[in-house]
Amino acid sequence: MNKFNVLIIEDEKNICNFISKTLSSQGYRVSCASTGNEALSLATSLCPDILLLDLGLPDMDGMEVIHRFRTWSNRPIIVVSARTLEIDKVRALDAGADDYLTKPFGISELMARIRTSLRHSNPAANNGDTPPHLYHAKGLEINFFKRTITIDRNPIHLTPIEYKIVAFLAQNSGKVMTYSAVMNSVWGPYAESDNKILRVNMANIRRKLEKNPAEPIYIFTEVGVGYRMADDEEPL
Ligand code: CA
């Protein structure tokens, strides 16, 4: 099996060692950078499959690393940061980070997010090399070709807008999508900046999909940031 290359960008030695040991024990190849400049030069020479990025770096802000890295690579970036403000998460995600984990984090959560990001960036690594046209999770099935949604085989009727929202989240399942990312994908670049219309649609979607809309099992809210759809169950 071809090992995935992970680049950890973190100036705290013990955090770096901890993540690096866990990843190595699970068969990943790991490199570490403790500054933004070192990270960017390693990223060009090693072509890592995924970046784990701390935002508080000694020589530059991690946001700068995201901006620069995104000018030439679309490999996934998971931010692992002590910054817990919603606005920091939104900025990082909108700048092109794929996911965001706040410190302190659970190592199994981090491993799960890494697997999700890698699966999304390497669809061919799953089964065959055609893009997936089905989404499955907990009895919910979406067929992106037929544009149909069923739960336990019962059809669910969504409006075209509601379908677009759900399909976009499902195609990015397991990852948090910011409100503005969803708005842009559904209403285009001229979407209103106010996300009220999105919240109204989401309330209707949840009434149709969730048994208990207050405790959703399909689409989760990341308060102040966006939505995350339950991860696609592994293809058989
Ligand atoms: Ca730091």
Distance from the alpha carbon of residue 103 to the mean position of ligand 1, in angstroms = 10
Closest listed residue to residue 33, CA positions, set 12, 9, 5: 9
Taking the CA atoms of residue 145, residue 234, residue 219 and residue 156 in that order, the dihedral angle to the nearest 10 degrees is 40
Distance from the alpha carbon of residue 201 to the mean position of ligand 1, in angstroms = 39
**Predicted local confidence at residue 236, as pLDDT:** 45
Distance from the alpha carbon of residue 34 to the mean position of ligand 1, in angstroms = 9
**Domain 5-126 of CATH type 3.40.50.2300:** yes
Residue range 134-229, CATH number: 1.10.10.10
Average pLDDT over residues 232-236: 68
Distance from the alpha carbon of residue 83 to the mean position of ligand 1, in angstroms = 10
Distance from the alpha carbon of residue 11 to the mean position of ligand 1, in angstroms = 5
User: Residue ranges per domain, the chain?
Assistant: 5-126, 134-229
**pLDDT band with cut points at 50, 70 and 90 for residue 124:** low
The answer to whether the peptide bond before residue 189 is cis (omega within 30 degrees of 0) is no
Closest listed residue to residue 178, CA positions, set 52, 103, 92, 114: 92
Closest listed residue to residue 142, CA positions, set 191, 209, 217: 209
Distance from the alpha carbon of residue 12 to the mean position of ligand 1, in angstroms = 6
Distance from the alpha carbon of residue 57 to the mean position of ligand 1, in angstroms = 5
Q: Which residue has the tokens 């979407």?
A: 191
Residue 127 has pLDDT above 80, yes or no: no
Distance from the alpha carbon of residue 200 to the mean position of ligand 1, in angstroms = 38
Residue 234 has pLDDT above 80, yes or no: no
Triad 114, 115, 120: Cα angle to 5°: 100
**Predicted local confidence at residue 42, as pLDDT:** 95
Give per-residue pLDDT as tens, 56-96.
999 999 999 999 999 989 999 999 999 999 999 999 999 99
**pLDDT band with cut points at 50, 70 and 90 for residue 3:** confident
**Predicted local confidence at residue 133, as pLDDT:** 85
Distance from the alpha carbon of residue 64 to the mean position of ligand 1, in angstroms = 14
Distance from the alpha carbon of residue 105 to the mean position of ligand 1, in angstroms = 14
Q: Are 165 and 184 in contact (CB under 8 A)?
A: no
Distance from the alpha carbon of residue 142 to the mean position of ligand 1, in angstroms = 41
Higher pLDDT, 235 or 138: 138
Distance from the alpha carbon of residue 174 to the mean position of ligand 1, in angstroms = 26
Give the C-alpha separation, 47 to 72, whole Å. 11
Kindly state the tokens that stand for 52.
């784990």
Residue 121 has pLDDT above 90, yes or no: no
Distance from the alpha carbon of residue 24 to the mean position of ligand 1, in angstroms = 22
Kindly state the tokens that stand for 121.
């960036």
Integer angstrom CA distances of residue 108 from 14, 22, 35, 77: 17, 10, 25, 17
Residue 125 has pLDDT above 60, yes or no: no
Give per-residue pLDDT as tens, 208-231.
999 999 999 999 999 999 999 999
Average pLDDT over residues 48-53: 96
Distance from the alpha carbon of residue 54 to the mean position of ligand 1, in angstroms = 6
Distance from the alpha carbon of residue 37 to the mean position of ligand 1, in angstroms = 14
Distance from the alpha carbon of residue 82 to the mean position of ligand 1, in angstroms = 8
Give per-residue pLDDT as tens, 188-210.
877 777 889 999 999 999 999 99
Query: Model pTM?
Result: 0.81
Higher pLDDT, 116 or 169: 169
Residue 143 pairs in a beta bridge with: 134, 148
Q: Are 57 and 11 in contact (CB under 8 A)?
A: yes
Give per-residue pLDDT as tens, 7-35.
999 999 999 999 999 999 999 999 999 99
